[in-house]
Chain A
Amino acid sequence: QKEVEQDPGPLSVPEGAIVSLNCTYSNSAFQYFMWYRQYSRKGPELLMYTYSSGNKEDGRFTAQVDKSSKYISLFIRDSQPSDSATYLCAMSEREYGNKLVFGAGTILRVKS
């Protein structure tokens, strides 16, 4: 069993839609949870960083962590064609992002 499960998609939505991306994990020692965005031929770029359970909002993006269910989500409001990318969840046991464990990534396509 993989430590982190993430549906690879692709997920195709119309412009303006609310997008929900999710990951589940098995390692209860994970304390730090991240979402990265990766455009084609580029490296992953950090979008959201959260510690333990709860919600965090940044503009059109909201990250949720439910440690009791070992489930994390990223919501994108008013999605734009420029949001089309691969979204990767990542987790670590220790602070400062050392030794991240990544999900497979979900390909998102926002159609104009």
Chain B
Amino acid sequence: EAGVTQFPSHSVIEKGQTVTLRCDPISGHDNLYWYRRVMGKEIKFLLHFVKESKQDESGMPNNRFLAERTGGTYSTLKVQPAELEDSGVYFCASRQSGANVLTFGAGSRLTVL
């Protein structure tokens, strides 16, 4: 079974540019989560999709972040315009409904210069 796939693995952009991160969850997992870890901080929750619907987006830091999951399969997280403080590692995780286990991807490292 393929795991959670994220790309790009590393993105370096200038402040003010746009970046789109993509997550392909495990097939059949209705629940998809985005988390991020900024330098020196804990991994923090961003949002939770159930299929294509946003179940909880209380962790999204501001309106420069837009997450989508069209069709309930893969998800994208767009940052526009990127700021220096957005640098960090963005993790995606997926979970089958009724199961306790979240499976995380390897993360997408974002560096904003």
Q: A residues touching B (Cβ–Cβ < 8 Å)?
A: 2, 4, 32, 36, 41-46, 49, 88, 95-105
Contacts and interface: CB of A to CB of B under 8 A. Distances in A.
Contact of A98 (B4, B42, B56, B98): B56
Contacts, number: 59
Interface residues of B, number: 27
Contact of B102 (A2, A4, A46, A105): A46
A31 to B, nearest CB: 12
Given A43-B4, A44-B91, A98-B48, A49 B101 contact: yes
Contacts of B44: 102
A43 B104 contact: yes
A99 B45 contact: yes
Contacts of B48: 98-99
A2 B43 CA distance: 12
Nearest to A46: B101
B105 interface: yes
